[in-house]
Amino acid sequence: MNRDRLELLSPAGNIDIFKNVINAGADAVYFGGDMFGARAYAKNFSMEEGAEAISYAHMYGRKAFLTVNTLLKNVEIERKLYDYIKAYYEAGLDAVIVQDLGVLEFVKNYFPNLAIHASTQMTITNAAGAKWIADAGATRVVTSREISLAEIAKIREATDIEIETFVHGALCVCYSGQCLMSSMLGGRSGNRGRCAQPCRLPYQLYDDGGKQIKMPGEFLLSPKDLCGLADVAAMADAGVYSFKIEGRMKQISYATGVVSLYRKYMDAYLEGKDSVPTEADKRHIFDLGNRCGFTNTYFYQQNSKDMITYKKPSHEKKNVSNVALEQPRMKVQGTFVAHVGEEMQLSVQMGAKHFVSVCGDLVEMATKKATGTDDIEEKLKKTGNTPFVFEHILFDVDDMVFLPASRLNDLRRRALEALQDELFGEDKPRDSIPFDQSQLQPKTMNLSSNKEVLVCCDNKMQFEVACDKDCVTAVCISFDAALVGLTDYIEMSDKSGKKLYLSLPLICRQRSFDLLESHKDFFETDKIAGVIVSSLDGLGFLEEMNVPKNRIILDHRIYTFSNASIYAYEKRGYERFTAPLELNEKELAHRENATTYMQVYGRIPLMITANCQHKNSKGCDKRMSITYLQDRYKERFPVKNRCNFCYNEIYNSKIYDIGSEMKQVKSLGFLGYRLDFTLEDAKETSQVLDRFETVFTGTKNDINFTKNNGIVTKGHFKRGVE
């Protein structure tokens, strides 16, 4: 059996769980330190515990990965990141899991021998995105939970990058890394590891006319847990290398129980045996913990009503006791030699390849009682907490020798340590590159009053209004709207003298690519000034289409929290960005903004979901519509189903509007300002742009762009996120 063909990757929330999942059969374990992990409220590991965990994993030939999968601010990268990673790096860490491209580039530059895994928060859904992130330096991609095994197979066929896929545990209803709901509503950012899980709260669904739609329950955004125990063979055949279990906040019984079951069926697959779970094992994994049952829908289809818990959102389990598993032992053979007047010697061998020999003190003649082979064997076989056990020991010992117990114990200890080093290599400090903080400082400030004003529209009516406004310098139309006829938008923008941009869908899966490729003429015409892109998959697609990078604007969902992130994208050739919505004024002032647009108005999509409220409530008729999710405070969140690309956008109930903060915004040196229109009619669009022009021209600085001040939010411009 060659386990190198597949990897079973387990989470660990503390050092005891770490050791026990290794004992249960995990090939690798991922854990969080005390900074920069996506589970900020977990107990997490101290540096000392992390080093102990790495050593324990390596003792058995396993691997340890550190989660650094949050978005980092400038001050964190400048002051903390280098020393933090360096400590784990020197302890022998095998890989880091990252979300932030700036962190990826940082690790690549300063820790050249450390593997980098692109987290599922990077939202990689296809081969174009996987190629893009591999070119950036990632050695492994953790695929989006939403993609199917058929889509994973296409990534495997087109790339050489390792593929890691979630096989078990909790599912986010939103594409990972794309959720702003917890952040915008409660200030706890999922991108910073502090998600408050508003998806697990109750909601009611209403149609566009205000009538409540009857649903099977009230937990409309709460997915069941994933279970792929029956899909091990299908996942492996699709090209999955690493089978990832979710659950760094779970207890030891859950972690070890789940690992043991997946170990059983992965081994069965590797041995060419039946890997179909028994009814008893299916019941056991169910009892370890589930949410109204399990789902594996994403492996085979886009979405399903059956994926949602509806009745209750909590993770439930039966009483399963915590059982600490025995430390696994590897069988070794020994040869002990003791001749009077010569150094005692212990040789240890494991298999045909691994052999070590150590010498001890000179052997003395016994003056009273000799040390017999039974006594010697008893001392040598006390292997304690090592991973070894002597299968047998051969003896070549003179009569009447005296061998003190302390000397035998020392000889055994040194021999087993030597074998351990021989087997797995000693974790020696690796060379890192000295950190140069000056490389991350802002380079310029753009204080010119000649700012670009970019207006993004979702329909022809909004577009016409934007083209008619003098303050607007560029207009953007969504790909959805452009499908009806790009020619009309080209004519309107030409006539008004505005630059024309096209925005790609927020999620670009394979079905999206098929549609985009069928309209490749959109990207070839010189009538379009550029494209706004919201995903790494989209960047990969545009590279394949040979769209010049100086025509591409990165949306705020391609996160540039830090200067390190900006410079990482600039290294790839990109020149224009959109400021993240989770940075506050002070943090933005410490960021390089000369090539960045600042969004100042719009209804922010809080979630992008593969699951569809329209389909779940009325069935899939492939008609775009608006429904509303109402929470316990009677706030209503509009939901638009994007049928061309098969995802939902769940918008905030309040409109993001920082018109009253424009004096401060103007001081931050942005390239330009951006206003996004989604549900507004022509009158609302016109009013917002007129009020923006009043603020933009400087006649007023203390008004909102929308007249309805009761439904606006300043987002994080003042408060920010932790």
Query: How do residues 327-372 score in pLDDT, each as one tens digit?
Result: 888 899 999 999 999 999 999 999 888 899 999 999 999 988 899 9
Please report the sign of the dihedral spanned by the C-alpha atoms of residue 574, residue 575, residue 579, residue 585. positive
Distance of CA 708 to CAs 28, 261, 602, 633, Å?
A: 54, 56, 13, 19
CA 210 distance to own-chain centroid: 37
Domain boundary among 424, 458, 474: 424
Contact 685, 640 (CB under 8 A): no
pLDDT value for 444: 63
Contacts of 170 (CB under 8 A, 6+ apart): 223, 225, 226, 246, 247, 291, 315
Share of the chain above pLDDT 70, in %: 96
| 110 and 253 fall within a common domain | yes
Whether the per-residue pLDDT at 534 is higher than 90: the answer is: yes
Going by the DSSP 8-state scheme, the letter that residue 474 receives in this structure is: E
| 97 and 240 fall within a common domain | yes
Residue 561 — φ and ψ, nearest 5°? -65, -35
Whether the per-residue pLDDT at 693 is higher than 70: the answer is: yes
pLDDT value for 3: 56
| 293 and 376 fall within a common domain | no
| 414 and 504 fall within a common domain | no
Q: How confident is the model at residue 633 (pLDDT cuts 50, 70, 90)?
A: very high
Q: Which amino acid is at 124?
A: I
| 296 and 342 fall within a common domain | no
pLDDT value for 434: 83
Distance of CA 302 to CAs 149, 244, 607, 615, Å?
A: 11, 21, 17, 11
| 201 within domain boundaries | no
pLDDT value for 173: 97
| 530 within domain boundaries | yes
Whether the per-residue pLDDT at 381 is higher than 80: the answer is: yes
pLDDT value for 221: 98
| 206 within domain boundaries | no
Q: Please tell me the distance from the alpha carbon of residue 558 to that of residue 539, in angstroms, as a whole number.
A: 10
| 561 within domain boundaries | yes
Q: How confident is the model at residue 578 (pLDDT cuts 50, 70, 90)?
A: very high
Whether the per-residue pLDDT at 577 is higher than 60: the answer is: yes
CA 144 distance to own-chain centroid: 8
Query: How do residues 315-330 score in pLDDT, each as one tens digit?
Result: 888 866 666 678 888 8
Mean predicted confidence (pLDDT) in 233-247:
97
Cα angle 285, 290, 293; round to 5: 95
Return mean pLDDT, the chain.
93
Query: Which pTM was predicted?
Result: 0.93
Whether the per-residue pLDDT at 1 is higher than 60: the answer is: no
Contact 50, 88 (CB under 8 A): yes
Whether the per-residue pLDDT at 528 is higher than 70: the answer is: yes
Mean predicted confidence (pLDDT) in 680-697:
95
Q: Specify the number of domains making up the chain.
A: 3
| 317 within domain boundaries | no
| 395 within domain boundaries | yes
- Give the tokens for residue 515: 């549609």
| 403 and 540 fall within a common domain | no
Q: Please tell me the distance from the alpha carbon of residue 269 to that of residue 232, in angstroms, as a whole number.
A: 8
DSSP lists the bridge partners of residue 392 as 333
CATH number, domain of 58, equals 3.20.20.70
| 345 and 289 fall within a common domain | no
DSSP string, 260-298: HHHHHHHHHHHTT---PPPHHHHHHHHHH-BSSSEE-GG
Whether the per-residue pLDDT at 543 is higher than 60: the answer is: yes
| 343 and 415 fall within a common domain | yes
| 22 and 120 fall within a common domain | yes
Query: How do residues 167-215 score in pLDDT, each as one tens digit?
Result: 999 999 999 999 999 999 999 999 998 999 999 999 999 999 999 999 9
- Residue 388's domain comprises 330-424
Mean predicted confidence (pLDDT) in 105-109:
96
Q: How confident is the model at residue 41 (pLDDT cuts 50, 70, 90)?
A: low
| 395 and 457 fall within a common domain | no
pLDDT value for 322: 66
Q: Please tell me the distance from the alpha carbon of residue 126 to that of residue 513, in angstroms, as a whole number.
A: 9
Strand 308-310 to 330-338 pairing:
unpaired
CA 135 distance to own-chain centroid: 18
Residue entry with tokens 């519509």: 625
Cα maximum dimension of the chain:
111
Contacts of 660 (CB under 8 A, 6+ apart): 701, 702, 703, 704, 714
Query: How do residues 702-722 score in pLDDT, each as one tens digit?
Result: 789 998 777 999 999 999 998
Domain boundary among 387, 406, 424: 424
Query: How do residues 128-151 score in pLDDT, each as one tens digit?
Result: 999 999 999 999 999 999 999 999
Contact 592, 566 (CB under 8 A): yes
| 208 within domain boundaries | no
**Comparing 55 with 628, which gets the higher pLDDT?**
628
Whether the per-residue pLDDT at 40 is higher than 70: the answer is: no
| 289 and 340 fall within a common domain | no
| 163 and 68 fall within a common domain | yes
DSSP lists the bridge partners of residue 477 as 457, 502
Contact 474, 452 (CB under 8 A): yes
Whether the per-residue pLDDT at 24 is higher than 70: the answer is: yes
Q: Please tell me the distance from the alpha carbon of residue 452 to that of residue 670, in angstroms, as a whole number.
A: 9
| 179 within domain boundaries | no
